[in-house]
């Protein structure tokens, strides 16, 4: 009996190891794995969710199930991809991703660019830069990459003068003659900038939040980024995944759908220049 018991334990161990081996192979993503046919993507509402909705039927034709999670901030989508609850996200540009990787310790990478949303200066109190009064307050995003982008937009139009640098802040405005109108800057979370427009003289708003706030960047912005400028190119919005997943079959299928002729036609028709395809 004792020998049989020992033999039973050994055999059970061999079977268990075999099952673990099979399970491990399944979890790493074999071609027939059910999980490989589910794409979980995080987006901000406009225009990202709308664009993914156009790509979704193209992916469904290939047998994929697309699960879209909507976020109203720029922080949670990267955390979700890093932790593995999402396969990908689509809301940010490369300078923001780089800053997040460095500050949060993420290991996230770009799969490729889809579109550009020109950043602009908006106001409900003035209609031109000439009307900007001495001591006026301008709201700008407070995350490092978009804050720098906003200040560079203003500097490019001669409103302020800033020091050379990648992630400039209001502290980098040149003291001697760099702020002739004594402008003040209200640094807010990017999503909150449009909501503060009634309380400030003007606001530099990211393209997606401008659209969500019912602004048409090509018509309503007092100044706007030149979509063809070298300065705007790094700010194309990208599909982001965890490092090592960028070559996955479903991720490549996702990016192909997001850069399809159908998506390009939708962007050009729906946003009239407020969102610009870069593929």
Mean pLDDT split into 10-residue runs, the chain, 279 residues: 43 40 37 74 96 98 98 95 98 96 97 96 97 97 95 95 95 95 97 97 94 91 88 92 98 98 97 91
Residue extents of the structural domains in the chain: 35-118+234-277, 120-225
What is the predicted pLDDT for the residue at 232? 86
Q: Whole-model pTM?
A: 0.78
Q: Given this chain, do its domains 35-118+234-277 and 120-225 carry the same CATH topology?
A: yes
Backbone angles phi, psi at 166, to 5 degrees: -85, -55
What is the predicted pLDDT for the residue at 33? 54
What is the predicted pLDDT for the residue at 35? 62
CATH superfamily to which 120-225 belongs: Periplasmic binding protein-like II (3.40.190.10)
The top-level CATH class assigned to 35-118+234-277 is alpha beta
């Amino acid at each position: 009996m004792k020998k049989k018991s020992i033999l039973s334990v050994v055999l059970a161990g061999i079977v268990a190891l075999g099952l673990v081996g099979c399970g491990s192979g399944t979890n790493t993503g074999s071609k027939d794995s059910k999980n490989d046919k589910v794409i979980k993507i995080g987006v901000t509402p406009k225009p990202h969710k709308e664009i993914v909705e156009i790509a979704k039927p193209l992916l469904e034709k290939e047998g994929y199930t697309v699960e879209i999670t909507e976020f109203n901030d720029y922080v949670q989508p990267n955390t979700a991809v890093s932790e593995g609850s999402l396969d990908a996200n689509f809301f940010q540009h490369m300078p923001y991703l780089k800053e997040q990787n460095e500050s949060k310790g993420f290991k996230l990478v770009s799969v490729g660019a889809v579109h550009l949303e020109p950043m602009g200066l908006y106001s409900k109190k003035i209609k031109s830069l000439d009307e900007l009064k001495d001591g006026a307050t301008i709201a700008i995003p407070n995350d490092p990459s978009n804050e720098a982008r906003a200040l560079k937009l203003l500097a490019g139009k001669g409103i302020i003068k800033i020091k050379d640098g990648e992630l400039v802040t209001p502290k980098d405005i040149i003291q001697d003659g760099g702020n002739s109108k004594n402008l003040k800057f209200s640094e807010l979370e990017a999503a909150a900038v449009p909501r503060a427009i009634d309380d400030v003289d003007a606001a530099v708003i990211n393209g997606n939040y401008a659209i969500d706030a019912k602004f048409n960047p090509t018509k309503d912005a007092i100044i706007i980024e030149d979509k063809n400028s070298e300065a705007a190119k790094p700010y194309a919005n990208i599909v982001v995944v965890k490092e090592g997943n960028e070559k996955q079959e479903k991720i490549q299928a996702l990016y192909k759908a997001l850069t399809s002729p159908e998506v390009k036609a939708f962007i050009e028709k729906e946003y009239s220049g407020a969102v610009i395809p870069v593929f």
